[in-house]
Structure 1
Amino acid sequence: MAFALRRSSSLLLRDWEQSGSFAADLLEQTSSRLRLDPRDRAALQRLVYAVIRHQRLLDHLISTLVRDRPDALTRRLLRMGLVELLLLDGAPHAVVSETVALAGRAKGLVNAVLRRAIREADPIRSTWPELPADVRWSVPAFLWKRWIAQFGPDDSSKLAQWNLQPAPVYLRLHLPAGVTPDFGSAQVCPVPGFPSYVRAEGPIPRQWLEEGWAYAQDPSTQGAVNHLSVFPEATVLDACAAPGGKTLAIVQSAPDARILATDQSADRVVQLRENLRRLRCDSVVKIAQQDWLETLSPSLESARFDRILLDVPCSNTGVIRRRIDVPWRLKPEDFGKLKVTQLSLLERLAGHLAPNGLLVYSTCSLDREENEEVVEAFLGRHPDFRLVSQSSVKPWIDGFDGAFSAALEKRSR
């Protein structure tokens, strides 16, 4: 890795710590500003994401190697150097010399710590199995306790290790009639059980994405659409639709359905509209901005739908390896607050479901408080609804991102 990329990594991590921005957004901004080629962008992402993923373990190592608490810059550079030397197999001489060059007045300290890490790499690693599991696998203590209570220690460790791995790229194909892409040059392979998906094993031709032939999406998202069971000419509401991946899946499952896709944010509606335009779905999907917990537009006040997909805002604990910021943004009280919002949305949307219709509640969370407990609370208040089907995807078992979905049927009176 070139010195300039290490410097960019340090600056990106500084901005991540100070601004509250998402790492993926900062990576995109940095790559665009510096006009990085794919190889350099990948190198930048690899280092930055490794530091964020292993943050708690790295801070433990720093506490054992440094007597006094380092300042923010020094801590950041030590995290970078240690993760390269102990977890990414970086070239020792380059790691030390280029990291030290960024350290300013702390050059001596950074040099000493990193050289010690080189000398004692094997003894340092040998202590890791004895560490508390939440430190070893870099999980915030409060989140680890929730996982232990819900999944037990073995499955919690499997989940934590899953989250530390780089996420593969899956693509949902959406090919125009008569188009047969060159799968060989694209380096993709089929995904068993998911005929619309391929897994990328190398660079994807830009044409695939620019022409709307494919959409990056994990196969776990298909479960919610399967539960929806859309029939021809059904009226369908995708209530929290942006960025549009599940809307695309609905279109593919029932091209003749009458679909309305909404989202509460103007920016997200712009993103939704652009994605559906690129995917050639904008002519068959109506798009509107609507916060379903606020005053409804006149056209929606009395609207009823045969099918409603409610993919609610959630903790994202099922997709941590893709959204690496999640563990460091969540707070213990967030789960209760999210449950209130989720149940409120479910209550509101239930009033827009036609008799005998299906409402599918879905999240990308693994947490029972956001999933089963929300569904149970809703059914307890609404005897006119019944649970038709329910499923969850556990990453350490199923091999895909975590997800939950439940289909609720409104009985006719």
Structure 2
Amino acid sequence: MKKNILLQLFCLSFVVFSCSSDDDNVSVIEIPAVESAVLDIESGGSNEPNQVYIDLSTEKTTVVRRDSWELGFISTENRVVLNSSILVSAVKLDGINDIDAVSEDTSLVTPMNLKSLNLATFQSVDVSVTTVEELLVGLPIGYSMYGDPENNISFTDSSIGDLDDTAIGDIANSETDAEVYVVSLGSEIPNDPAEPGSVNHTGDHRGFYKIKVFMDNNDYVLQYAPLGENSHSQVVINKNETYNFTGFSLANGTEVDVEPNKGNWDINYTSVYSYYGSMGGMNAGLTYSDYVVHNTLNGVGVYMVLTEEPGEGEDADPVATGAPSYEDFTLDDINENKLVFNDRALIASGWRSTSNGAKSDRYYIIKDTDGNFYKLKFTALLNEQGERGYPQIVYDLL
């Protein structure tokens, strides 16, 4: 299934040592980039329990349970991100600094004027909340979750991965200045498989926590507790610039290895993805399956090549765009100006049709963390039994 990989492993499984009479010099053979591969992505089936990080140049994958963490502490900036793959969201309680005093009964210092989506009419409605209990109604990600895009209020991170647009905003420099956040831990991963062709990835709600985050020199200090507790735990999280972020599980109280080394992955089949955004002109909490992001925090760029467009009229045949086919695309065809480095959701779920599987009218050009150019296409969404959550990709070095 994997072209050339056995030959590469044979050729690269040794180190050449060259010695002189007065010193020992060690020469290590550089590992060439994988030239071509067919890769079955271990998403885990119709419950899509896994996030899968893929390094194209080595064909190595890293599989992580997507419910193993909730918070990510960024290494290059003072920022904290949320695990969108289990629908984590967060809201700041303005003017409230005592984490132990916060409960569902806590009154907000200032009422929050928000928007929600009326599911009966699919019209936006105004909502005013004055207590934490009222706020919790619209904190979990769903169509009717609270927000206010006109006033830049969102309880999720930016869909494109912009670190200047995170639900947990600027990190305070002291415990005194840090304000309390309430965090929705998102949704459980169900165990029951879905019907063939469908997915079942969002289960029961995982509960609410309260947190405070502040900096101690270059380290994060995290205080956290279940929302109903009157005492908290505290942990120091050190930055490690080998990685984009350090993961943390509030539910388990531990740091978690999530992403591999930031230079060792290019795309992440994150399986499930969620954010607050526009849906047919209305704003709502949205959740997608079969989702792919790329490593924008370490310089990976992507663009899509579309070979066909819909014809005019309901029953019209597709029309060729004039772009080369996947097989015919070469290094000379690359347009580097099209590469997108600042939107991690360029591939997203647009590579597949929920009714027809992987789309054959598109493929992607990727500049990886090593500067290699690849062409990549998705070739499967379903397994032979018609079950969802079994994606496959083919890619070639240009």
Report the TM-score range of the alignment, normalised by the length of the smaller protein.
under 0.3
Which is richer in strand? Answer: 2
TM-score normalised by L of structure 1: 0.22
Which is richer in helix? Answer: 1
Higher relative contact order (CA 8 A, sep 6+): 2
